[in-house]
Structure 1
Amino acid sequence: METFPGDDVREHLLVVDVDENACEPETKIRVRELSKVSEKGVPILGKINVDIPKGVIMGIIGPSGSGKSTMLRALNRLWEPPSATVFLDGVDICDLDVLALRRKVGMLFQLPVLFEGTVADNIQYGPQLRGKKLSETEVYKLLTLADLDSSFYNKTGGELSVGQAQRVALARTLANEPEVLLLDEPTSALDPISTQNIEDVMVKLKKNRGMTIVMVSHSIKQIQRIADVVCLLVDGEIVEVLKPDHLSQAKHPMAQRFLQLGS
């Protein structure tokens, strides 16, 4: 049986089965003893241990400054984690080519940043780097997947609302055919309708493609709407791992206060 550094560490380890009637889910991302300290010596993350099952939506919530985005960015090496702390399908991500890793583990940020050119140019960009030319039909399919119609094909970034630009950024990320999608507050700047559109796409990607999604959000209600399991991060540590409908059972005092004020 394959073992990993820190497998004997059980504290705060994700053991929630997202389907009580199913077998233990396959682990897509495994995090062991992940720590980070600022340049001034201030702890940012303290020995994070968590398993992220394949094909689920995991929500990460917690107070500002608790290390949520830092943890997320470690999963595709936007900051370089220590060796043997983050594994993708059992492989240390530090041993993988970073560009290949980021194609497998795509990321959507809080504010969309589009390249110059048309929507189609943006969506075709990633595959072109690999020598693949997406056809018009393939671009249309990606637009549809991101809840946009074919009329957006030749539009430029200046013609789009923030919500539309975020969905184009999503289509651009999906063009790389990622296995995992990381979302860092992807709807915080969007109106309620655009937010619902993005949430609907996330649920469809999980259901239809079996995609693993890790989403940081300040919105507890949003996480409750779409997540299968929730990590509560406080002061750089995972203090609770619960199903969305069990958040009221959180025992950590800071987690309880955060949930009370956020609900």
Structure 2
Amino acid sequence: MTIWEKVIRLKSETTTRLYEPAIHFQKVSYKVKDTEILKEVTGSFPKHRITTLVGPSGAGKTTLLKMCNGLLSPTSGEVYVEGLPLQDISPIQLRRQAGMVLQNSPVMDGSVYDNLSLPLRLQGKELSEEKATDILNQVGLDRKYLRRNSRNLSGGQQQKVSIARTLLNESNILLLDEITSALDPSSLREVEELIRKLNEVHQITVVWITHNLEQAKRMGHYAWIMIDGQLVQTGNTSALQHSDDPSVERFLRGEFK
């Protein structure tokens, strides 16, 4: 059975559904000098689902996420994106395919339109106001925001602009790294609703690093738990309720961050 023929079984209380892997890691390790950051990680993120990636600080989560769009390469092992080995996908194509949004995604001083059009300008292309308006509508902002200065927006609105900018590449995978950790409760809810809509309506695969276990339970269909560079548990979100693994259970009880 090839990597691409493998499926992931996600169980609910009433059904079991099968999903192709959007991204698969096969015995992936990563070292910096003599320090092991990732240790033979094997597992898959299911296509069209939201996978939450949780674990203590220093578990290797962000390193893993950066491998999904080629910002880092494994020391050993293989990463497959939609069936293709990472090295067989051009960096430009890969970063369009798997877009990343960070906790503090930068917005430049200028209008929302300026911020949205920047990636296309770097490719020698122009962004029409119609396309800009359409992409803003997808993230819950209307046309009036196009000419507003991005620096004057709320934190939640800035994150929506960052997500819209990523969607302009027509990414079918969204990689999110703690994107709501600095937001107030109202903005957090708005961004969560947006991500849920993008997943449900547009079938975008989401991989979401969060330190908020309640958010992980609330938002995820599937969960990865990482500790000390290792993938120690995967499964549907019930994996975040209880574990027979003592280290995972300590993490879930909040005994170490």
Task: Please confirm whether the aligned pair reaches a TM-score higher than 0.5, indicating the same fold.
Answer: yes
Gaps of 5+ in 1: 8-12
The yes-or-no answer on 1:213 pairing with 2:213 is no
- 2:188 matched to which residue of 1? 195
Deviation per CA, 1:195-240, whole angstroms, max 9, x where unpaired?
A: 1111111111111111110000000000111100110000011111
Unaligned segments of structure 2, at least 5 residues: none
Question: 2: distance between equivalents of 1:252 and 1:121?
Answer: 49
Post-superposition shift, 1:48? 0.6
- Distance, in Å, in 1 between the alignment partners of 2:136 and 2:30 is 38
**May I ask how many residue pairs the two structures share in their alignment?**
254
Give the whole-Å Cα distance in 2 for the aligned partners of 1:150 and 1:46: 47
**Which of 40, 43, 48 is the matching residue for 1:50?**
43
Q: Which amino acid aligns with 2:97?
A: K
Equivalent of 2:245, from 238, 241, 252? 252
Q: 2:225 maps to what in 1? A: 232
Report the Cα distance in structure 2 between the residues aligned to 1:3 and 1:56, rounded to whole angstroms. Answer: 18
- Quote the Cα distance in structure 2 between the aligned partners of 1:208 and 1:101: 23
The alpha-carbon distance between structure 1 residues 31 and 212, as it changes in their structure 2 partners (threshold 3 A), is: same
Greater strand share, structure number: 2
2:15 corresponds to 1:21 = yes
Aligned 8 A contact 1:14 1:50 in 2: no
Alignment of 1:78-93 (within 5 A): 78-82=71-75, 85-93=78-86
| Partner amino acid, structure 1, of 2:49 | V
Offset at 1:15? 4.3
1:135 matched residue in structure 2: 128
Q: Which moved more, 1:47-56 or 1:75-84?
A: 75-84
C-alpha displacement at 1:131, in angstroms?
4.6
CA shift for structure 1 position 132: 4.1
After superposition, the CA RMSD in angstroms is 2.2
| AA in 1 matched with 2:31 | V
Contact 1:43 1:236 (C-alpha < 8 Å) held by counterparts: yes
What is the one-letter code of the residue matched to 1:72? L
Percent of residue pairs identical: 33
Question: CA shift at 1:2, angstroms?
Answer: 3.5
Aligned to 2:27: 33
Taking structure 2 as the reference length, the TM-score comes to 0.91
State the one-letter code of the partner of 2:20. E
- Is 1:149 aligned to 2:125, yes or no? no
Deviation at 1:23, TM superposition (A): 4.6
CA contact (8 A) 1:14 1:52 kept: no
The code of the aligned residue for 2:207 comes to: V
- CA displacement at 1:18 relative to structure 2: 5.1
